[in-house]
Amino acid sequence: MNQRKRVSLFARLWARLKTSGRLILHFLHPARFVLAPLLIVLLLAAVLLSLTGGLAYVAPFVYALF
């Protein structure tokens, strides 16, 4: 049963990475390149929240971005 959970976890992680890759490729299209700053800010906010685990003292800075 533990092996099944591990496979499921890797499958979900792979699906999310694949979706993120497709989103990045979508924004790299020349007509959509003007949206790159938005994508960069969203990615930085996601990395910040992921690294800190959504700590309460980081939240006001993220809210200030939006």
Mean pLDDT by 10 residues, the chain (66 residues): 66 83 80 78 81 72 70
Q: For residue 60, which of 39, 37, 49, 38 has the smallest C-alpha distance?
A: 49
Listed by start position, the domains of the chain span: 2-65
Tell if the pTM clears 0.85, that is, is over it: no
Structure confidence at residue 62 (pLDDT) = 67
Amino acid sitting at position 44: L
The rounded distance, in Å, linking the Cα atoms of 25 and 10 is: 22
d(CA 1, CA 12): 17
First to last CA, the chain: 42
pLDDT at 25: 83
